[in-house]
Amino acid sequence: MTVNFLRIVALLLVIGAVAAGWFGLRLSERPAEPVIVKAPPMTYPQVVVEQTIPAGEVLKETDLSVRMVEQKNLMTFSSKSQLIGKMTIAQIEAGSPVLTSQLPDLGPAAEMLKPGERGIAIKVDEVVGVGGHIKPGDHVDVLLFLEAENKTDKAVKQTNAQVVLQDVRVLSYGPDLQATAQSETTENTEQNSLLGQDDALSAGKPKSSERSNEKSGAASRSAVLAVKEFDMTRLMLAANTGSLRLALRGAEPPTPLEATVDSRQISLAELAAADGKKAVVAAPGPSKLASSPARKPVQKSTQVILHSGDKTETISFKEN
């Protein structure tokens, strides 16, 4: 009985060893738990000053730098271009971010003015404003027409037209500002990208809002131009002396043409004289054959050679 008991115990031990080995093998085959890697914190650009900036100083690109911060501050700026040319109203310590409270609170039109520019409004109508097709952000030339007060022939000839200003940026036309026009363009682009093919075709058709904008452009009565500081009085004098007309410029600068007459200013007398000069130049000149002097008739002669001993003599006879 002792032998049978020992056999049973040995069998149980073998079974236990096999079970323990099997469980150990199963545990070793389990995949390792993935290592969780923490994502780096999100950072935001923030403009700071390199050195202390006193109040009343105009910010330059060399005064600014951009650093990344973990916490976004809505009172700061993320790009240098937003601050270049702006004047501070409070002192900013070195290494500190530039806050909106440290800059003057300007209106939307004043924000679009560059250093050295001033915004001046002029009266416009459908003809002065190129049929109402001028949009904020376009560039125009300002033309002036001066009509003689007296109606005498001598005074009328002094009537002239001239270019007062060239390549002037339009800040607003009627109630529309340049920033408003840019934001509407961006929104329209995003909306068109989300539309399908059918919707895109329908979006390309003029909408009622677009037609109303065209009507408001043609019916606008004022336009604000961004002119240089030294051109303010020139535009003011022109607006109160004669009739102004805006000439719309294209996207690229025009190719300069070789002109015999200065297009910046021309009077009625000069225009008439210029037309007369062109007619003289265009008229055919006299024939070279008629202008050349007449040739003299060539007289023919006959030569006779006389031999007298060792001497030889030549005698010429002219024929009429």
Domain boundaries, the chain: 44-105, 117-197+211-251+263-273
What pLDDT was estimated at residue 52? 92
Question: Phi and psi for 257 in degrees, rounded to 5?
Answer: -105, 145
Structure tokens at 252: 């690229």
Per-residue pLDDT tens digits for 188-205: 444 444 444 444 444 444
| Of 76-90, 166-180, 210-224, minimum mean pLDDT range | 210-224
Number of helical (H) and strand (E) elements in the chain, helices listed first = 9, 11
Question: Phi and psi for 221 in degrees, rounded to 5?
Answer: -115, -5
CA–CA distance, 314 with 304 (Å, rounded to integer): 6
Question: Phi and psi for 12 in degrees, rounded to 5?
Answer: -65, -40
Q: Is the pLDDT of residue 13 over 50?
A: yes
Residues 163-189, mean pLDDT to the nearest whole number: 66
Question: Alpha carbon of 163 to those of 137, 143, 146, 243, 265: distances in Å?
Answer: 20, 5, 11, 12, 6
Per-residue pLDDT tens digits for 220-268: 688 899 999 988 888 898 888 888 889 898 876 655 544 444 456 666 6
Greater model confidence, 154 or 96 = 96
Percentage, residues of the chain above pLDDT 90? 12
What pLDDT was estimated at residue 273? 63
Per-residue pLDDT tens digits for 30-86: 666 777 888 888 899 999 999 999 988 888 999 999 999 988 889 999 999 888 888
* CATH classification number, 44-105, choose in 3.40.50.300, 3.40.50.1100, 2.60.40.420, 3.90.1210.10: 3.90.1210.10
> Where on the phi/psi map is residue 121: left (φ > 0), alpha (ψ -120 to 50), or beta?
beta
Residues 179-196, mean pLDDT to the nearest whole number: 43
Per-residue pLDDT tens digits for 106-147: 777 787 888 788 999 988 888 888 888 888 889 999 998 887
What pLDDT was estimated at residue 189? 41
Residues 262-288, mean pLDDT to the nearest whole number: 51
Percentage, residues of the chain above pLDDT 70? 60
